[in-house]
Chains A and B, each alone.
Chain A
Amino acid sequence: MDLLLDLALLSLLLLTAVSIAWTRDMFAAAMLTGIYGLLSASFFMTMGAVDVAFTEAAVGAGISPLLILATLALCGRNQKADPPRAMLALCLVGAVGALLIAATLDMPAFGDPGAPAHIHVAPHYIGESFAEIGIPNVVTSVLASYRAFDTLGEVVVIFTAGLGVLSLLLALREQQHPIRALSAPHPQHLVLRLVAKVLIPPILIYALYVQFHGEYGPGGGFQAGVIFAVGFILYALVFGLDAVKRVAGHGVVQFLAALGVLIYGSVGLLGMATGKNFLDYSALAADPVSGQHLGIIVIELGVGITVAAVMMLVFYLFSEQLQRGLEDGSGKELTSGRAG
């Protein structure tokens, strides 16, 4: 049964990947990317990597196709053919693929209990993390405490990406004209409005659940931040960007993006102030284990805030750019981009 499921998922993955490379219609490619994300998430599920699957579902199948679609709305949906370059790319990809396959020859078999990855550091995490950190989800223990510095780095990566988009698309004047673009209100779409109104509150509550349940089950700040931002983005898509900006404007979102990183960093510095090493949470409470637990809750909050804020910031900037494009009259390609 497992074998059948694996075969089905892997062949679908292959099929989707080839179709993405094959199609010239970028809109179709974007949708296929979402499907690819969902399939990968399912495949990770069958391998028992629930946390990874959850992240892939939220990011790969959720927010990234959305951002790709926003980009397509800006730059059109058709790819120009360039056969010589494509041949070169194919050759390079073939060489890299051959090397990857060669690498599998001496790999330990999947699930081999004697594989190095299962007998060196992993037993310590599985055996000791509950006693040392006090939470049942080992993945969260590794990400948020044993390797918390990597996670801080990942949050900074997201923050950097948001700032990069901001530095490129920052408008010098505030938008004056009524909004018509990607995020224009759609008064005629009654069904859409109704469904959105019903869906958004559960999405936001679910995000909070994922945020604060990461110690016990799959979840945590990354997934929660993305889901929370999706709630806001959905609202903007149906009711217009202005309506969302009244709740969280540019300044607020930028501030929150910085705040999340600072919260995370401050927890680390707090450890140092009490004589422990950077990011050692055990000093945060009288009992080291509850200190660890508290530290994880706070840093996950920082992660959630930055991720949600950056996703919203990127969406704002894309939609504003689109509005400017329409007003400059240079948005001819947009119609074809939105037709799908």
Chain B
Amino acid sequence: MLTHLPILQVILPLVAAPSCLIIRRASLVWLFTLGVSIAAFAVSALLLQQVSTSGAITYGLGGWDAPWGIEYRIDLLNAWVLLVVTGISTVVLAAARASVQAEMDQARQTLFYTLYLLCFAGLLGIVATGDVFNVFVFLEISSLATYALIALGRDRRALWAAFQYLIMGTIGATFILIGIGFLYMMTGTLNMADLAQRLPEVSSSSTVLAAFAFIVVGVCLKLALFPLHMWLPNAYSFAPSIVTAFLAATATKVALYLLVRFTFTVFGVQFSLTSLPLQSLFIGLGLAGVFVASVVAIYQVDIKRMLAYSSVAQVGYMVVGIGISSVVAVQATLLHLFNHALMKGGLFLALAGLAYRAGSCHIDAFRGLGRTMPWTMAAIVIGGISLIGMPLTVGFVSKWYLISAALESNLWFVALLVVMGSLVAVVYIWRLVEAAYFQEPAGDQPPVVGEAPLSLLLPTWLLISANLYFGIDTRLPVEVTGAAAQYLFGGAQ
């Protein structure tokens, strides 16, 4: 069975999804979905262990060898992303039941878990595959499921948000498909490793340059890189709480993985970052995203929306790392991919708890929350500290690596701007602390009855304590991402 691990990673949730429709009962379906997610997490842990001891694994689907057939190829980079996605999914699903029951009618709950599994399978498929057309197919699965999941939000504006994302996401996916078509035209192959070998011969042709442009813009749309982020704040703020927690922690991470995979593996460092002016573009857009989104975040009254803008800013940091394009900088990006999943997963789950009790995530709902929901509020504060990047949290670790990478490459102004970006984060997190601990609940506000249910609180705290644990014991993420970054630059694994 161990040889089948790469494909099991994806087909477990993929086949489980239609089975949900046959099980039907919402509570059973939830248990089933959680079980599938735990199994997927176990598979990804085994995969990472296998890859780090014996190098990259390939798996020929249908028994056909690449490039005739589709190949799954797991190396340190995607094994790491698979672990992050399955881990977050498991924690989010453990918390899902109460929140989904509160936010959706009975008839839609089964559909919700089915769509969740489809989205999950789609994201895993994008990460696991070594074939560019297969990437597109699974991108479609995850995207369609995501649009439907967002539209399930309680607020009617969720429909508009989902539609907006559908249009932007479809444009992004179409661009990626056009790019893939051009690549096939110029090389005759769809296999990533094969493409990497055959592209250098034709890399100066306008067709390959156009392919690169289409793919990078398409992926950046899915990634919500500033200024292509317009869909994200609405999507995150109107989606059901659990969907926001899942998407914020996984979907943009998978898009970031795609960007790294295409620029480093398929097109190659030489083409992507040396012969094109992409470095300064990524650093510029990344930093612009950090500042614009962080400043906009300060003025938001809906805290889900505020954290959504903060996500756009965090994507900026990750893209800056790719822009600096040294081993340490890419390691910082991969570290932040993991760390940001922990922060935003924990923070949005805490907000799910607040939405469960208070019915909204408006800043006014935070007044006096330090007393009525002490555990939820404490989680938000620690998550916020990690988001700012204070020592002893994971946020500090990735920013430390990013700043040292910038200084190593003599980009001192980048380092300075990264630090300043964190200061803006202090402002918007402080607003929450001020409301929760130093303000009385407004008179007309119905009082919050008490702490979030344990089923929500425990998963929240699991992610929040992971923020602290991996902020102190950094061995696992630093070792894996360090090796993965070296591998991307052609070094030994």
Contacts and interface: CB of A to CB of B under 8 A. Distances in A.
Interface of A: 99-100, 102-108, 115-122, 124-125, 145-150, 152-154, 156-157, 159-161, 163-164, 166-168, 170, 172, 254-255, 257-259, 261-262, 265-266, 268-269, 271-272, 276-282
A277 B185 contact: no
Interface in B86-133: 105, 107-108, 111-112, 114-115, 118, 121, 125, 133
B62 A168 contact: no
B312 interface: no
A168 B15 CA distance: 23
Interface of B: 4, 7, 11, 14-15, 17-19, 21-22, 59-64, 67-70, 105, 107-108, 111-112, 114-115, 118, 121, 125, 133-134, 137-138, 140-141, 144-145, 147-148, 151-152, 159, 178, 182, 184-189, 198, 202, 205-211, 213-214
B206 A102 contact: yes
15 contacts: A102-B210, A117-B184, A147-B70, A148-B61, A160-B141, A163-B114, A163-B145, A167-B112, A170-B108, A257-B18, A258-B19, A258-B21, A266-B15, A277-B62, A280-B63
Nearest to A166: B111
B205 to A, nearest CB: 4
A99 B144 contact: no
Given A115-B185, A156-B118, A278 B61 contact: yes
Contacts of B189: 120-121
B208 to A, nearest CB: 8
Contacts of B145: 160, 163-164
A277 B8 CA distance: 11
A114 to B, nearest CB: 11
Contact of A156 (B108, B141, B211): B141
Nearest to A306: B18
Contact of B137 (A106, A150, A164): A150
A277 B188 contact: no
B18 A268 contact: no
B458 to A, nearest CB: 28
B151 A167 contact: yes
A121 B131 CA distance: 14
Q: Which of B59, B62, B145, B178 has the most CB of A within 10 A?
A: B62
Nearest to A168: B151
Given A116-B202, A148-B61, A156-B141, 11 more contacts: A99-B210, A106-B207, A106-B208, A107-B207, A122-B188, A147-B133, A150-B133, A152-B14, A160-B115, A265-B18, A279-B62
A166 B19 CA distance: 16
Contacts of B134: 149-150, 153
Nearest to A165: B148
A167 B188 contact: no
B185 A107 contact: yes
Contact of A277 (B7, B68, B202): B7
Nearest to B70: A149
Q: Which of B133, B151, B188 has the most CB of A within 10 A?
A: B188
Contacts of A102: 206, 209-210
Contacts of B114: 163
Contacts of A159: 17-18, 118
A166 B18 CA distance: 14
Given A107-B185, A125-B68, A146-B68, A164 B115 contact: yes
Contacts of B198: 116, 120
Contacts of B112: 167
Contacts of B118: 156, 159-160, 163
Contact of A167 (B7, B17, B152): B152
Nearest to B118: A160
B137 A153 contact: yes
A160 B214 contact: no
Main secondary structure of the interface of B (DSSP, over half): helix
Contact of B107 (A117, A172, A276): A172
A272 B18 CA distance: 20
Contacts of A259: 18
A332 B199 CA distance: 57
Nearest to A268: B11
B69 A146 contact: yes
Contacts of B211: 103
B68 A154 contact: no
4 closest A-B pairs by beta carbon, nearest first, are A120-B188, A280-B63, A103-B210, A164-B148
Given A157-B140, A161-B144, A121 B188 contact: yes
A262 B188 contact: no
A324 to B, nearest CB: 15
B350 to A, nearest CB: 26
Contacts of B121: 156
B271 to A, nearest CB: 15
A302 to B, nearest CB: 10
A187 B70 CA distance: 53
Nearest to B62: A279
B187 A154 contact: no
A157 B137 CA distance: 8
A203 B188 CA distance: 38
Contacts of A254: 21
Nearest to B213: A99
A188 B205 CA distance: 63
A125 to B, nearest CB: 7
A116 B18 contact: no
A19 to B, nearest CB: 21
A269 B61 CA distance: 12
Given A167-B148, A167-B152, A281 B141 contact: no
A271 B64 CA distance: 13
Nearest to A164: B148
Contacts of B152: 167
B62 A281 contact: yes
A265 B15 contact: yes
Given A107-B207, A160-B145, A167-B148, A265 B14 contact: yes
A304 to B, nearest CB: 15
Nearest to A171: B107
A157 B144 contact: yes
A2 B67 CA distance: 34
Given A121-B188, A157-B137, A167-B111, A148 B62 contact: yes
A146 B137 contact: no
Contact of B62 (A105, A117, A146): A146
Contacts of B69: 146-147
B61 to A, nearest CB: 4
